[in-house]
Each structure stands twice: as C-alpha cells, then as structure tokens.
Amino acid sequence: MGGFPIERIRAITFPPPPSIADVAGRADVGLVRMNFNESARAPSPKAMEAASLALLDANRYPDHESRVLAAAIHDKTGVPVDRMSFGNGSGEVLVAAAMVSIEPGDEAVMPAPTFPTCGKGVQIAGGRIVNVPLKPDGSNDIPAMLAAVTERTRLFYLCTPNNPTGGVIAADDLRTAFNKVPDTCMLVVDEAYFEFASVEGGPDVLSLLKERAGPWIVTRSFSKAYCMAGLRVGYALASDNDIAYGLWQLRPNFNLGRPALAAAAAAMRDEAYLQETLRLTIAGRQRLSEALASLGFEAFPSFANFLTVRAPLPASKLGRELEKKKILVQPLPWPDERGSLRITVDSRESTNRLVEALADLIEP
C-alpha cells in the first residue's frame, strides 16, 4: 500500500471506541454502562414522537440544510443559521474543525487528557498534537497551553467541562485565551456538556467569544443532556460564515437521518424535559459522590454527567474487577500511576450496584 495516505491513517494513535454488544438490537439490560457518559433516561417523549413521525418519510432523503433543527438552535443560541454546521454526532464536526484548520506539519495545542476526536482530526490532516497537562483540578491549563503556542500552531482546542475529568475553565482564563490565541489560529471549544455547565453557573462561552477577533468554532452535542447518544446529532457554531461553509463542505451528503434531525429539534424545544434531566443528573451525581466518599474515593469537581474519582486502589485493577461483575466504568491513567475512574451518573439502581461492588472490592 506504499504511498497512500492509508499508511498515515492506519497509524492514527486513537483507537476506535470499545464495542458493547447489544442484545437483539436493544442495549444489554444486564450490563451497567457507566463508561460512555450516556444518559440513563430515554429522550424526551416529544423527541421520540417526532422521530416516529419522521419514519413515515424514511423513503425520502432528509433535509440536508437541517432547517427545522437550525431554527431551534438559532432560537436557543441567537447564532444565525449561516454560521452553523451539523454532524452525525459532534465527533464529526470536531474532525471537520481540525481538517479546516490544519495543513500537514502544523501544530495543534490540546489539553491532556481530553476527548480524543479533535486530535484524531489533527492526525488525519497530517498535523502534530502538542499535549499540555491539565491543572490538578482537572480543567484545561490556559497559561501553560498559551505558552505552548508557536508560529506553527493553527489550532487551539479547549474542552469545558473537560472529558474525562469534568472540570470547567474559569471565565477569566477563557477571556485570556480568547484574547491571546493568535488570529492565525483556530480556537475550538468543545462544549459537549454545555447544558450541565450552564445550569450550574459555568461561564457563558458564546458570549465571552464576542471578545475574540480571531476565528473560532464551538461544538455541542445531543448525546449527553438531550439523552440521544444513539441517534447521533451534533452541531458546530462558527465565528463567521466562511468557516461554517468550510465545515459544511466536509459533510457527506445527507449525513443526518430524518429521525435524528426531527428528534433533535423537538428535544431542543422541550425545555421542561431538559431541565428535569439536568436536575435528576445533578442530584444523582451528588448521591454517587457521597456514596463513593464514604468508601474513601475522592471526587474531582465535575460540571457534567459523570464523576471522576481517585481510588484507594489502582484504577485499572478496579475497572477489570468491576467488568467481571458486568459493571463498566472508564479507568484513566491520570493524574498519576494509581489513576482514577470516570463514572457516568446513571440510574439509582446502577449506582447502588456499583457502590456495593466497590465496597466488596475495597474491603473484602
């Protein structure tokens, strides 16, 4: 295969996600899935109704412009529809954000650890990732990231709240980044957990971006607070139409299906359901945090639907033992060798099963 980009593509260092077998097309109910930051709730009933209605026209291609969804996003954010793009999950727009910014040999400054997909896009485009360790609280270290910028830097990726740690970037740090990241550099802010951070008083990224003269892209998702991970909808908001059109050109034709588009628009208009999801998730996180604290785990501050905790035992070992009991969590090699566990806030029953299993493992 000499000479084809496939060599470089195969060498991409981010593995595909682990597969979790469904049973007869349904998510395996015997399994506690606390490793993907999915919601334990079904989508809004209005979203499900809209998706079912959309199935009646499944023989017809969907609206590539996604006008119904674009209007809902406009009403919620105030961003004009010609500054948006859409992806089959926000992962797609994160890859596109890298591809419109990076030429081979360019550099991308990123926090580490963070969500991998923008970095994957950087490698697809032939760029080089410059990793900057997180702050001890699990948020992006803005001064250290700014110090890593060189004249080759074309992309500056922020993730707030950061996955896999949960920390948010403070308003002052965001302001500094938005002013100091050079205008020759694309600033990407991954806000997959925007709705959680926003209801908990996190800084308003979109309004702070008004202070930035240079280009930017914000990405958001329907997979987390809107409980639609299985439907695959994400979107990007860009500083201007030229960037949005660039992202748009990278979309494969009709990349979002009718049911997904209809469900996303209806979910966004169902504010009451969203608020209920946020309230239940935050209460569940509090409960999880208290139960784990009583077992000697220390939680990092989280503004998202997951909790990252320091274990009294090596995290990778705990992860393997839990898996034997059909409980999936995400062990992390951070902040040191002992590691930590990223645990999705799930149902009360899942939380109870996890806490019981951990109690057995820690005090046999």
Q: How far is the CB of 92 from ligand PLP (least distance, A)?
A: 7
Contact with ligand PLP (CB under 6 A) among 190, 195, 270, 346: 190
Q: Tokens in use for 4?
A: 């084809």
Return the number of the residue (342 or 353) whose C-beta is nearest ligand PLP. 342
Q: What angle do CA 156, 72, 186 make, to 5 degrees?
A: 10
Residues numbered 205-234 forming contacts with ligand PLP, rule: CB under 6 A: 221, 223-224, 229, 234
Q: How far apart are CA 274 and CA 227, in angstroms?
A: 9
Beta bridge partner(s), residue 32: 327
| CA dihedral of 295, 306, 333, 104, whole degrees rounded to 10 | -170
Residues numbered 278-317 forming contacts with ligand PLP, rule: CB under 6 A: none
Residues 6+ apart with CB under 8 A from 349: none
Residues numbered 27-46 forming contacts with ligand PLP, rule: CB under 6 A: 37
- Is residue 114 within 8 A of residue 153, CB to CB? The reply is no
- # residues near ligand PLP by CB under 6 A: 14
Residue 159 touches ligand PLP, criterion: CB under 6 A = yes
Return the number of the residue (141 or 190) whose C-beta is nearest ligand PLP. 190
Terminal CA-to-CA distance of the chain, rounded, Å?
53
DSSP 8-state assignment for residue 304? S
Return the number of the residue (196 or 273) whose C-beta is nearest ligand PLP. 196
Task: Characterize the bridge pairing of strands 107-112 and 340-344.
Answer: unpaired
Residue 165 touches ligand PLP, criterion: CB under 6 A = no
Residues 6+ apart with CB under 8 A from 154: 101, 102, 103, 106, 107, 108, 127, 184, 185, 186
Contact with ligand PLP (CB under 6 A) among 39, 85, 140, 163: 163
Helix (H, G, I), strand (E, B) or coil at 84: strand
Residues numbered 70-99 forming contacts with ligand PLP, rule: CB under 6 A: 89-91
Residue 141 touches ligand PLP, criterion: CB under 6 A = no
Return the number of the residue (72 or 229) whose C-beta is nearest ligand PLP. 229
Return the number of the residue (155 or 355) whose C-beta is nearest ligand PLP. 155
Q: How far apart are CA 147 and CA 156, in angstroms?
A: 12
Q: How far is the CB of 222 from ligand PLP (least distance, A)?
A: 7
Return the number of the residue (125 or 189) whose C-beta is nearest ligand PLP. 189
Q: Tokens in use for 321?
A: 């033992």
Q: Which residues contribute to the site for ligand PLP (CB under 6 A)?
A: 37, 89-91, 115, 159, 163, 190, 192, 221, 223-224, 229, 234
